[in-house]
Amino acid sequence: MINTGLKDKVVIVTGANHGIGAATALAFASEGAKVFINYLRQPPDTYGETKESAEKAANPGRAYYCKMISQSADNVIRKITDSGGDCGAWEADLSEPDNIPELFNLAEKKFGKVDVVVNNAAFDSPDTFIPEKELEKNPFFADEYMMHSLTSDSHDNHFSVNSRGAALIMAEFARRHIEHNSTWGRIINITTDGARCHASNVSYGASKYAIESYTRSAAVELGPYGITVNVISPGAIQTGWITKELEKDLAKSYPLRRIGTPQDIAHAIIFFASRQADWITGQVLYVGGGNRM
């Protein structure tokens, strides 16, 4: 058995009411860490569904994904506490800068000094450089989700959470870490293996690529303070958004012949947080069944 050294560490995981964030929170709890969850429920009409259609959905696809993103973190919290773990939670929008120091205030009040941050929260509404008139001929992304032409709002909505929110969390963590005279810390940022070029989802990809740059800079600057900063870059992960038909098609193109699960990403996050990764920083790890090498 490998001792990850995570027992009693205090961990913040953002976007943890479903999918990768939920699996990550559960994985840290299983290692004996104290987990503080941040999440933000998104209404089903974010992707054109109604509350009724989302509630009825039973199979992966747009309606089912809307069901997942509109739920609270209660199920995750219950699983952690039922297994004897320690968990706290706060629902808050990370596009609001004032919420970020408050997130740390609440986590410290609940558990004490934060040791690990996982920046997983994300906003994603596919946009493109193709004009709206052209989109009328073929408006869909992944056959389920409507694309829109890029606007200032679509740009800012992605960057306010995916880039600025994550960067401000990194800065807040660093400030408190140094004030506490701490000597060990972890920042793990979640991007996408389409970050370098994400046609049909341009603002999402670009906002995630910005975090990869922030990660490298932070790794250089914060290394002397004992903080490692790394990126997990997932391939396609079944968090409820991929229809069964699309999943089969995607799997054929992946060397390992399947798409990923939230647990696949959680395992990699635990590695970067563990003592086994003490001498690894500033790295992007592609976790996608060989989709990108």
Give catalytic residues, as residue numbers: 204
**Alpha-carbon distance values, 100 to 22, 127, 128, 171 (Å):** 20, 27, 30, 10
User: Which of 37, 145, 21 lies closest to 88 in space, CA to CA?
Assistant: 37
Evaluate whether 236 touches 260 at the Cβ level (below 8 Å).
yes
User: Which of 58, 118, 160, 147 lies closest to 262 in space, CA to CA?
Assistant: 118
Give strand pairing partners of 146: 140
Quote the longest CA-to-CA distance of the chain.
58
In degrees rounded to 5, what are phi and psi of residue 91? -85, 120
